[in-house]
Amino acid sequence: MRTLQDQLVTLNPPGKTSSQSSTTVVRIMMPMDANVAGNVFGGTILRVIDEVGSIVAFKHARSNVVTASIDRMDFYSPVYIGDLLRLIASINYVHRTSMEIGVRVEAENPITGEIRHTGTCFLTYVALDKNGKATSVPPLVPETEEEKRRWKEAEDRRKLRLQSIGRREN
């Protein structure tokens, strides 16, 4: 027979893993996504980054989310018309109401199969309740050494973000 504690843990699990919300999105880049030279606009890539990041945040929080910040974005190599834009997103860190999502951006030439790492971006999302107020999110349970490393690095980035806007850790 299950105890009341066992039943409560089943109803309210201690947290979620990164794999439960990780998402990959692939889009083919079309002429409308690029300038006259055939290079995909950075803004187009950022839009898709925010989209895939919000999907991960939605899946983790299971509530509405808003983008609170986007860390610096460096473009390592261009993305061209006809490339497959692949965005691999996963949750790195959770605080009370906020989550850091990491997005790896790759471009694949569909003819040659060549894959280029074109950028990495970190985004912070805040979960909202039905009244549009910040609400708590489930804890994140890092399982692998890689996930534990990403947690620690995200925690350090959070401290720097808060310092840069003159807020203390809470």
Chain centroid, CA 112 distance in Å: 28
Q: Is the confidence at residue 84, as pLDDT, over 60?
A: yes
pLDDT value at residue 166: 82
Torsional sign, CA 168, 59, 150, 66 = negative
pLDDT digits (tens, 9 = 90+) for 97-114: 999 999 999 999 999 999
In contact, 68 and 98? CB cutoff 8 Å: yes
Residue 106 token pair: 């790759």
Torsional sign, CA 21, 167, 128, 14 = positive
Identify which of 69, 109, 113, 105 has the alpha carbon closest to the alpha carbon of residue 89.
105
Average pLDDT over residues 115-141: 97
Residue 47 token pair: 């839009």
pLDDT digits (tens, 9 = 90+) for 20-46: 999 999 999 999 999 999 999 999 999
pTM: 0.87
Domain ranges, ordered by start, for the chain: 17-164
- Separation of alpha carbons 21 and 55, rounded Å: 8
In angstroms, the first-to-last Cα distance of the chain is 41
Q: What is the CATH number of domain 17-164?
A: 3.10.129.10
* Residue 144, CA atoms < 13 Å, CB-side half-sphere: 6
Q: What percent of the chain has pLDDT over 70?
A: 91
The whole-chain average pLDDT of the chain stands at 92
Please give the single-letter amino acid code of residue 167.
R
